[in-house]
Chains A and B, each alone.
Chain A
Amino acid sequence: MDTRDRILGHIRKGLGRSGPVSSDEAAALRAGLANPKPNLVPARSQVDRFDQIELFVAMAEEAAATVDRVGRLEDVPKAVSSYLASQNLPSDIVMAPDESLDTIPWDDRGMLSIRRGVPEPSDEVGLSATFSAIAETGSLMVTSGPHHPSSLNLLPDTHVVVVREDQIVGAQEDGWVRLRKSVEENGGLPRTVLFITGPSRSADIEQTLLMGAHGPRRLHIVLVESRDSDGGA
């Protein structure tokens, strides 16, 4: 008997079964996996869109992210360059080759020098978009993919993320609904779904909280107002 069968056999014995679940039960359990339902979702995030946006901002700031709210996509380059200047950071950016960032008129702002692609160890500032954002915890929900390198979220010391208000959902469970829909449309789960809540930190030395452990020391969110407020992604 191989190891797999031995382990499953022990489990079944403990459960008082001599073999796998019956085919009817298996079908019922499989249906549960195919149509997942949320468990208890806290009321905090189940509020109207306006309050969800405010909650997202408040929670992200509480997690030590900084949030800059701008009215239009056109305002993003200026917001990014002023942020970098205010932090005395270089204006060289490595940016995700994400098409959703292409609609931003980066050229209008000659001060930023932008390279698209995967970050090098020497890159200090990374800029990316997000798949969705979670109001309950102020988290970004980012996915990996051909145009979204995972290392961009972790390697550069400063991470700037452009979020549109219509990307904000209430709870993580609402994020899963969006993800499953996108998987259905585009086929296949991304290799990585990462929730980012504030910049990297560690409390491993005498429980003293220090920012910037291995991931970015700074997480800056540029939140773009969505004019047609019901336009879901």
Chain B
Amino acid sequence: MQSTSPRFRENAGEALRDASLQRALRNIPTGFIKKRQKAADRMPEFEDLRDAARDLKNRTLANLDFYLEEFESKVVANGGTVHWCSNAEQAREAILCICRLVGAETVTKGKSMIGEEIGINDFLEENGMTPVETDLGEYIIQLRKEPPSHIIAPAIHVNKEQVAEAFFEAHQDLDADRNLDQPTALLAEARGKLRERFLAADVGITGANFLIAETGSSVIVTNEGNGDLTQILPRIHIAIASIEKVVPTLDDASTLLRVLTRSATGQEASVYTTFSTGPRRAEDPDGPEQFHVVLLDNGRSEMMGTEFQEMLRCIRCGACLNHCPVYGAVGGHAYGWVYPGPMGAVLTPSLIGVDEAGHLPNASTFCGRCEEVCPVRIPLPKLMRHWRELEFRKGNPAIRFRYGLKAWALLARMPWLYRRIMGLAMHTLAGWARGTGVLQKAPLAGGWTAHRDMPAPEGATFQNQWRAHVARNRDSGT
């Protein structure tokens, strides 16, 4: 996928002025945040499970090469093939090659961030095939020709009127006067349309939440069942996954699943959790005849042994996005590449280079909520700060937020203030959005002060505002 990350500030400004996007983003707090909290509260061992999840990911990374080789040998023993790919281009070619071998026309797809990362849909289309996203959210954004804006809820920025519009446009064989006002009607229509596609598909591509070294299995988690139909019905199943998805055993996957589902959607378990191993067996009445794993590196192996190795624990739950005031204000597209929010701010510069994505680690209030909720305890603020320091030292012009660093240092020494800003951040970013939309002042400069009745003159330096703010807080005895 082509990145627009260098335009983060402009993207963000546009996002803040986009009324329908702002309406859609307002669903996040009531949805994901509350559900996660409820699910976490209900599991007495939740914090211990997070520790266990972190530890087992660390254990795996400490011998990642071993587990990848074991995984491969188990895939092969079960009749499948592993394709090692250094970069997006190799992964695209590997997939195209498999599709061509069976003369594929229709290729169904389950939701996969790696699919976005390598831009597989456009590529297959250029090569004369019809890729069809089958996750409802992905289908919607595929029709709208836009990338996902959230790693769990790809169409979270779209409202139902826009979905209806996309369906009227795409499904012209249906009655033009049909009523698509209700979400149920939209779902029914998508289900019908996609059923045809599932049954026609020659190749099914899914992502993988985990790969299991013990068995050579790939694991997917869905609520719709689209991932299962994608891999059961066509002749070929291709699972695309990045190298850090491997875990040692089935039991390890069980541990991660407990924190994944709760952190992602607040569910006790997703509706469908599928462990797939090799192609269908000789006597099986259904299932794919071939099983391929396209294993993508794309810069991850270079993160090993660096501070950013910790990021390879990420299980893509999306909790850090849901709890991020910056994400909540600007949505996912502003980040300009596949991975938005705090996890994207850390991961994207590693994968596409800091020259492209150097802005992203600045898209933070350093409120610390992301780290508080991360199920595998990735110190996201620390890693963002680390990028900023690296860039600052290099004198990279992408870093125009130097005061941000100082502000962070100040905040870090004053936990009470830090917490207050955290509490305010959600409101203030939206408020700041409705104002001038001048992003370079936010979030530490103009943002929260505006909501505190403090007439900060336009163009006042951050330090001035800061001093005023500190004085005011002291007066109010906080």
Residues of chain A at the chain B interface (Cβ within 8 Å): 2-4, 6-8, 10-17, 20-21, 25-26, 29-30, 32-33, 36-40, 42-44, 59, 62-63, 97, 117-118, 121, 136-139, 144-146, 149-151, 153-155, 171-173, 176, 179, 188-208, 210, 212-216
Contact = CB atoms under 8 A, between A and B. Distances in A.
Given A20-B66, A191-B284, A207 B27 contact: yes
Q: Which 7 A-B pairs have the closest CB atoms?
A: A14-B304, A215-B225, A14-B305, A10-B301, A213-B224, A204-B137, A146-B283
24 contacts: A3-B90, A7-B68, A8-B68, A11-B68, A15-B65, A39-B254, A44-B43, A97-B285, A117-B285, A144-B284, A145-B283, A146-B284, A150-B287, A191-B276, A197-B269, A202-B136, A203-B31, A204-B154, A205-B155, A205-B160, A206-B160, A213-B223, A213-B225, A216-B225
A204 B139 CA distance: 10
A214 B223 CA distance: 9
B86 A7 contact: yes
B400 interface: no
Interface in B227-277: 228-229, 232-233, 243, 248-252, 254-255, 257-258, 265, 267-277
Interface of B: 24, 27, 31, 43-45, 48-49, 52, 56, 62-70, 78, 84-86, 90, 134-137, 140, 153-156, 158-160, 163, 183-184, 186-187, 191, 194-195, 198-199, 213-215, 217, 223-226, 228-229, 232-233, 243, 248-252, 254-255, 257-258, 265, 267-281, 283-287, 297, 301-306, 309
B49 A42 contact: yes
Contact of A33 (B156, B214, B274, B276): B214
A36 B272 contact: no
Given A7-B243, A206-B160, A214 B194 contact: yes
Contacts of B215: 189
Nearest to B301: A10
Given A3-B86, A171-B254, A201-B271, A15 B186 contact: no
B67 to A, nearest CB: 8
B21 to A, nearest CB: 13
Contact of B43 (A10, A42, A121): A42
Nearest to A210: B187
Given A190-B277, A206-B160, 7 more contacts: A42-B258, A63-B269, A144-B286, A153-B228, A179-B250, A204-B135, A212-B187
A109 B63 CA distance: 58
Given A146-B285, A200-B224, A40 B66 contact: no
Nearest to B184: A210
B184 to A, nearest CB: 6
Chain A CB count within 10 A is highest, among B49, B191, B233, for B191
A191 B278 contact: yes
A207 to B, nearest CB: 4
Contacts of A173: 251, 254
Given A3-B85, A63-B271, A205-B136, A192 B184 contact: no
Contacts of A144: 280-281, 284, 286-287
Contacts, number: 267
A3 B154 CA distance: 32
Nearest to A21: B66
Contacts of A121: 195, 199
Contacts of A207: 27, 31, 153, 156
A153 B184 CA distance: 22
A11 B224 contact: no
A156 B255 CA distance: 31
B271 A198 contact: yes
Given A200-B225, A214-B226, A194 B301 contact: no
Contacts of B134: 214
B306 A14 contact: yes
A188 B249 CA distance: 16
B249 A33 contact: yes
A151 B306 contact: no
Contacts of A150: 228, 232, 286-287
Contact of B84 (A7, A21, A25, A38): A7
A195 B183 contact: no
B304 A188 contact: no
Nearest to B137: A204
B332 to A, nearest CB: 14
B279 A191 contact: yes
Contacts of B280: 144, 191
Given A188-B281, A198-B271, A206 B233 contact: no
B269 A137 contact: yes
Nearest to A183: B215
A205 B63 contact: no
Contacts of B249: 32-33, 36
Contacts of A39: 52, 56, 251-252, 254-255
Given A14-B305, A42-B44, A195-B269, A36 B232 contact: no
Contacts of A32: 248-249
A19 to B, nearest CB: 9
Contacts of A139: 269, 273
A7 B297 contact: yes
A63 B95 CA distance: 36
Contact of B65 (A8, A118, A146): A8
Nearest to B136: A204
Given A15-B65, A204-B137, A196 B229 contact: no
A171 B257 CA distance: 12
Contacts of B31: 203, 207
A215 to B, nearest CB: 3
Contacts of A189: 78, 215, 217, 277-278
